[in-house]
């Protein structure tokens, strides 16, 4: 009996060491993916391409069955599927889900992140028809959010129960944070371009030679655009121009 106990204890130790080894490997793989995602957001300028690569990266890192990325349409209280893996290609770019119901996205709209161990046994969540059709059992859904600006949702699912844990949830949150930073940058650049274009148009209407006002047209959206815009706005205000730029 003592010998059997010794063997059992040794086997248990080996199992624990193997489990620890697997956990460390998983965490390392996730860290590498986060670094890669950070590089991707600084290199990629096309939103659609970025979302596709993100979905693939998350799927491979978590060995997920399905990955989905939705963008929020606040005006219509819905979110549109922009990228994904493990789905019919025909629904990407077309599928929309309401965010004012009790489905998985609506839950994350009220609570920043969701870890589902068994979808059929979770309280407060009524899975969307789309998710039931995919036969998802467990999963993670997090918001893509920066401060008070909600841009969308990032989700992964498995057809097996309890396929994800808190480590996976933290990884998903890190990826969502990087996506939110990308959305924020694009939004800021859009506002800067809009303001710059408005100022350029208004300088064309000023008295004087056109070439005197070309300094704005030669500028491009860079980190110092705000200072350029402020300086220009002050100069134009001094010439009694009413600014309507937002």
- How far, in whole angstroms, is CA 104 from its chain's centroid? 16
Count CB neighbours of 153 within 10 A: 25
- Please list, in sequence order, all residues whose beta carbon lies within 8 angstroms of the beta carbon of residue 91, skipping any fewer than 6 positions away: 81, 130
Separation CA 66–CA 60 (nearest Å): 10
**What percentage of the chain carries pLDDT values higher than 70?**
70
* Burial (CB count <10 Å: 0-12, 13-18, 19+), residue 17: exposed
Query: What digits encode the pLDDT tens for the residues 176-199?
Result: 999 999 999 876 765 666 676 666
Verdict on whether the full-model pTM lies above 0.85: no
190 vs 56, which has greater pLDDT?
Answer: 56
223 pLDDT exceeds 60? no
Strand partners, 146: 149
57 pLDDT exceeds 90? yes
Q: What is the CA radius of gyration of the chain?
A: 25
3-class secondary-structure state, position 147: coil
104 pLDDT exceeds 90? yes
Q: Give me 190's structure tokens.
A: 């859009």
Q: Which of 98-102, 156-160, 199-203 has the lowest mean pLDDT?
A: 199-203
What per-residue confidence (pLDDT) applies to 232? 43
What per-residue confidence (pLDDT) applies to 211? 52
Report in angstroms the alpha-carbon separations of 44 from 59, 60, 86. 19, 19, 23
What per-residue confidence (pLDDT) applies to 116? 92
What number of residues does the chain have? Answer: 246
Report in angstroms the alpha-carbon separations of 104 from 96, 114, 160, 217. 13, 8, 18, 47
Alpha-carbon torsion angle 91, 96, 101, 102, nearest 10: 30
């Amino acid at each position: 009996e003592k010998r059997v106990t010794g063997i059992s204890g040794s086997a248990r130790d080996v199992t624990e060491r193997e489990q620890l080894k697997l956990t460390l490997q998983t965490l390392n793989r996730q860290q590498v993916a986060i670094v890669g995602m950070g590089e991707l957001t600084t290199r990629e300028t096309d939103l659609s391409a970025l979302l596709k690569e993100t979905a693939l990266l998350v799927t491979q890192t978590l060995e997920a069955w399905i990955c989905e990325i939705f963008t929020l349409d606040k005006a219509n209280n819905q979110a549109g599927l922009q990228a994904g893996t493990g789905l019919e290609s025909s629904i990407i770019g077309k599928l929309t889900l309401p965010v004012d119901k009790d489905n998985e996205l609506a839950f994350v709209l009220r609570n920043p992140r969701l870890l589902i161990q068994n979808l059929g046994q979770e309280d407060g969540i009524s899975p969307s028809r789309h998710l039931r059709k995919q036969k998802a059992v467990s999963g993670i859904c997090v918001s893509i959010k920066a401060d008070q600006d909600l841009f969308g949702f990032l989700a992964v699912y498995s057809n097996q129960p309890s396929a994800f844990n808190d480590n996976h949830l933290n990884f998903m949150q890190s990826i969502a944070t990087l996506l939110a930073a990308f959305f924020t940058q694009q939004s800021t650049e859009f506002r800067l371009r809009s303001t710059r274009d408005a100022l350029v148009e208004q300088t064309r209407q000023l008295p004087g030679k056109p070439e005197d006002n070309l300094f704005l047209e030669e500028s491009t959206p860079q980190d110092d655009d705000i200072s350029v815009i402020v300086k220009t706005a002050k100069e134009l205000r001094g010439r009694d121009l009413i600014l309507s730029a937002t």
